């Protein structure tokens, strides 16, 4: 049994955009991914301020220009590369980054327990 699970295919996320995903079976917390070329940055969908999901609308995790992750509830801004909060009520905190990898076939993998 693998210690990873398939999140999606790279082509399932539009380059420069984000997409939300359910967590593992039985989890209430999901994940989201931001694609930048062939790189995919995956995070737990929970604002460090009070733990609410960042998106009010499905797959809407980025600001207009697609340069920062935004919490729709609090207006906090996070860097895409590492999830560090640069502005808002949780400034200085970070989103929980999830290790991910894109394999040679274009499949995006995360740890089996990511989001649990």
- CATH (domain of 72): 2.102.10.10
Mean pLDDT across the chain, nearest whole number? 93
Q: Is residue 43 part of a domain?
A: yes
Split into its structural domains, the chain has a count of: 1
Q: Is residue 116 part of a domain?
A: no
| Per-residue confidence (pLDDT) for residue 23, from 0 to 100 | 74
Full residue range of the structural domain in which residue 52 is found: 4-111
| Per-residue confidence (pLDDT) for residue 22, from 0 to 100 | 85
Q: Is residue 107 part of a domain?
A: yes
User: How far, in Å, are 9, 20, 55, 92 from residue 24 at the CA level?
Assistant: 17, 13, 19, 28
Query: For 100-107, which contacts have Cβ atoms below 8 Å and span 24 or more sequence positions?
Result: 100/7, 100/33, 100/40, 100/41, 100/42, 102/10, 102/38, 102/39, 102/40, 106/9, 106/10, 106/11, 107/6, 107/8, 107/9, 107/10
Query: Token digits for 109?
Result: 């993998």
Whether residue 116 has pLDDT greater than 60: yes
């Amino acid at each position: 049994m693998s210690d990873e699970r398939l999140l999606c295919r790279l082509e399932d996320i539009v380059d420069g955009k984000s997409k939300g995903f359910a967590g593992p079976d039985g989890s209430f917390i999901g994940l989201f991914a931001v694609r930048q070329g062939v790189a995919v940055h995956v995070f737990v969908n929970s604002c460090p301020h009070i733990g609410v999901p960042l998106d009010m609308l499905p797959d809407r995790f980025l600001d207009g220009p697609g340069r920062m992750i935004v919490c729709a509830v609090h207006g906090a801004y996070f860097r895409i590369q590492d999830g560090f909060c640069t502005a808002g009520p949780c400034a200085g905190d970070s989103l929980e980054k999830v290790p991910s990898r894109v394999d040679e076939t274009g499949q995006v993998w995360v740890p089996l327990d990511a989001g649990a």
